[in-house]
Amino acid sequence: MQLEQVKEIALQELVDQCRKKLKRAGRLREVGAEERCRSWPATVLAQRQKAVEERLVEEKRRVRSKLVTFYIFFGFVFLFLPLAFVYLLLSFFIWLFRNIKIVE
């Protein structure tokens, strides 16, 4: 993800957190409360950006892991099992009719 998008997500999370605190305290309707929630020190924003980046990387890793698991399951169920079933079915028919002589 691009740096601007990460910064936007981090700022939105900080604003949401500030609004929740102000709402709990009952000061959300005060003049300037909204502006205070939008201005954050650079260090706080940088920390939140780092947390957002780590979370996004972990989320990508989790999605990749789920995708690999899905493909393994798909390959096993729809590729391997039908071939194994056909092989066992043919083996069964060969075993069943092993004593029949077609040409004498």
In a domain, 42, yes or no: yes
Residues contacting residue 44 through CB under 8 Å, at least 6 positions apart: 14
What are φ and ψ of residue 98, in 5° steps?
-70, -25
Q: Contact 15/37 with Cβ under 8 angstroms?
A: yes
In a domain, 102, yes or no: no
CA distance 96 to 82: 21
Kindly report the pTM of this predicted structure: 0.66
Tell me, what amino acid is at 94? I
| Domain interval for residue 20 | 3-96
pLDDT in tens, 77-99: 999 999 999 999 999 998 888 88
29 pLDDT above the threshold of 90: no
pLDDT above 70 covers what percent of the chain? 89
Q: How many CB atoms lie within 10 A of CB 81?
A: 11
In a domain, 103, yes or no: no
In a domain, 44, yes or no: yes
In a domain, 74, yes or no: yes
Kindly state the average pLDDT of the residues 69-78.
96
Q: Into how many domains does the chain fold?
A: 1
In a domain, 104, yes or no: no
In a domain, 86, yes or no: yes
In a domain, 7, yes or no: yes
